[in-house]
Chains A and B, each alone.
Chain A
């Protein structure tokens, strides 16, 4: 899930400066879960736009705006309203905004900031986060990701910063490496702290085709050839 928050109204109005009519797109997925694009909050936002002299020519909800196919379909289904508008204002995560911008011929404005969650939480919300580093270290750390649990993403133990088990960056955040130590100690495997696994390979963060995984809803992308090692579906 990609978390988002609505941009401040003044910022949105700044984007709409010089424009009178706008078509609103709202996502029924992640951003609705974040109380940004759910019907109640969209209604509030539309009201605020009206109060500031903007006319909303129409509003469409899309199950997952990030799905470019669904978003293109939605734009076609609302063609008249979209054409009447000066621009499209999208309330979804950054993926969705880009999907609409790719499909539309009108300018597209972001209505949200997608928030960094410190890693991917999975399609269903969970405590843990995955940095998608491409070389999983969980065996060394008793099953706690050092890259996401540690604010500095350290790999060889905690820094000198933790105070009372809390991270120097934010007092509400437990030190990731203290958690790892406690977990390893509970497993009777504190000796693992002596291991020095290989350094992180940041090439793994490059957005090349080989590193993409198709998602269940990526109707718009078809893999050119099936990858033999692809035993886990995305």
Chain B
């Protein structure tokens, strides 16, 4: 079943992301994707996330497609101009990829090649417009296409926790008007805040999947609070993670094995999924290296 079909027919849709390697050893990312077979409606592959050079989303998605999985190509505008971006959309389609999440992308200076030239010839909105143009049979210069990528299924993101949130909402409307047919949000940890956001975007008619980043430690939560725009982990959750961390440390000192942090992380994520469920069309999981815990999360959440 395609992502498009899943979103149209399922009551609650789950997607999950994987990250390609910095190198050509694809084993780990393909294993992580394999673990998700039959459990999620689509697998996002990040595109040079955080401006770190690695294997492309396009190449990885092509491999997932060959494995019979449902990839979601993520495209950022930081590294390629409008010629390359349109080309990649056509190339992805030619390789059987249909789902594309269109993003602006983190700035070059945040990554591991900070001296590189930032492109941003297009941004998320104009990339969506370009993609929709291709679907309709024309490139950005108005040239006709020899074969239209008619089945492209375009997506975009939004940050519900942005403050102020109004500019995000305006931009979300622009993204949908430009062709976005599904939305995956930046990570949310506050169900009430998310509910209020969903109320503000009640006139957005495309499915919105709430994003959740698996918390790996209290430190990670604090780091996100301090450094990641629009993401806020409430104090009670940080305390839960800290308590679990303390328990694990104690056990380690005694020479015992303990898994409290992982168990707590799974539990928190499952609770969030259940709490967010009434307000959205599904959830998008970002395990950041803990992909092997996703099956347990889904089981605990009952999805």
- Render A14-34 as a binary contact track against B, CB cut-off 8 A, 1 for contact: 000000000000000000000
In the assembled complex, the Cα of A178 lies from the Cα of B165 at a distance in Å of: 11
- Closest beta carbon of chain B to A39's beta carbon, Å: 35
CB-CB nearest in chain B for A153: B120
Q: Is the CB of A154 within 8 A of B104?
A: yes
Q: Size band of the A side of the interface?
A: 20 to 34
Taking CB atoms, residues of chain A closer than 8 Å to B125 are: 156-157, 196
Taking CB atoms, residues of chain A closer than 8 Å to B250 are: none
**Which of B82, B109, B178, B186 contacts A169 (CB under 8 A)?**
B109
Q: Is the CB of A168 within 8 A of B171?
A: no
- Closest beta carbon of chain A to B107's beta carbon, Å: 5
- Render B156-179 as a binary contact track against A, CB cut-off 8 A, 1 for contact: 010100111011001101100110
Contacts A152-B123, A159-B123 hold; do A194 and B104 have CB atoms under 8 A apart?
A: no
Within 8 A of B (CB), among A145-176: 151-164, 168-169
Q: Is the CB of A168 within 8 A of B107?
A: yes
Q: Is the CB of B159 within 8 A of A160?
A: yes
CB-CB nearest in chain B for A202: B121
Contacts A194-B170, A194-B174 hold; do A155 and B126 have CB atoms under 8 A apart?
A: yes
Q: Is the CB of A162 within 8 A of B104?
A: no
Q: Is the CB of A169 within 8 A of B110?
A: yes
Taking CB atoms, residues of chain A closer than 8 Å to B105 are: 159
CB-CB nearest in chain B for A160: B159
- State the interface size on chain B (CB cutoff 8 A): 36
Within 8 A of B (CB), among A175-227: 177-178, 181, 185, 190, 193-194, 196, 199-200, 202
Contacts A190-B170, A193-B171, A196-B174 hold; do A161 and B107 have CB atoms under 8 A apart?
A: yes
CB-CB nearest in chain B for A177: B167
In the assembled complex, the Cα of A151 lies from the Cα of B107 at a distance in Å of: 8
Main secondary structure of the interface of A (DSSP, over half): loop
Q: Is the CB of B126 within 8 A of A193?
A: no
In the A-B complex, list the 7 residue pairs whose CB atoms are closest, starting with the nearest.
A156-B125, A193-B170, A157-B171, A163-B229, A159-B104, A152-B120, A181-B167
Having A156-B174, A162-B229, one finds 18 other A-B pairs with CB under 8 Å, namely A151-B107, A154-B123, A155-B123, A156-B124, A157-B171, A158-B167, A159-B104, A159-B123, A159-B124, A160-B162, A160-B229, A168-B107, A168-B229, A177-B167, A178-B167, A190-B170, A193-B170, A196-B177
Q: What are 19 residue pairs bridging A and B, where the CB atoms are less than 8 Å apart in the complex?
A: A152-B78, A152-B120, A153-B120, A154-B104, A155-B126, A157-B170, A157-B171, A160-B159, A160-B229, A161-B106, A163-B228, A168-B106, A168-B107, A168-B110, A168-B229, A169-B107, A169-B110, A194-B174, A196-B177
- Could you list which residues of chain B lie within 8 angstroms of chain A, going by C-beta atoms? 78, 82, 104-107, 109-110, 118, 120-126, 129, 140, 157, 159, 162-164, 166-167, 170-171, 173-174, 177-178, 186, 227-230
